[in-house]
Structures are given as C-alpha cells and as structure tokens.
Amino acid sequence: MPKRVDEPGSGNGVPDAVGQFETAMKELEALVQKMEHGELRLEESLQLFERGIALAQQCRLSLEKAELKVQNLLESAGDKDASA
C-alpha cells in the first residue's frame, strides 16, 4: 500500500497525488513484467490482474487529483492577476 504523505502547507491530510501515482505505476510495471514472462499459474495470474486493475484505477484517481490541483492553482493565479 502506498505511503500517505501530506502536501506541503495543506494541513488537511490530503495524500500526495504525485507520490501515489509514481508508487502505483512502479508496482503496476512490475506486475506487467511478471505476467509477461508467462510462468504463472492461472490463479496467480488472475490475482495479479485484479491487483493491476486496482492500481490502474488508483493511477487514474491520482492523475485526476493532480489535474484538479493544477486547475485550482491556475484559477488562483488568474484571480490574482485580475485584481492587480
């Protein structure tokens, strides 16, 4: 399970989306390599596939969080420019 890291200055316990994404991607890449070798039993392949699906969903959510943060930063910067 990826380690939760608070974003600097947030103070609200929001996990670091970038760190979670990178951790999940590394695990997903390792799973793919293991499955590509084809030396697994069917049951183990299914378990790894299931884990891979969960990791892919986690990556998608992390990217969505990062995108939302970028949008918020851009909106905040736009508000500052408009008031100057």
The 3-state secondary structure of the chain reads: CCCCCECCCCCCCCECHHHHHHHHHHHHHHHHHHHHCCCCCHHHHHHHHHHHHHHHHHHHHHHHHHHHHHHHHHHHHHHHHHHC
All domains in the chain, ordered by first residue: 17-83 (1.10.287)
**What pLDDT sits at residue 4?**
40
Per-residue pLDDT of the chain (84 residues; tens, 9 = 90+): 444 434 444 444 445 777 888 999 999 999 999 999 988 999 999 999 999 999 999 999 988 988 998 999 999 988 777 666
**What pLDDT sits at residue 50?**
97
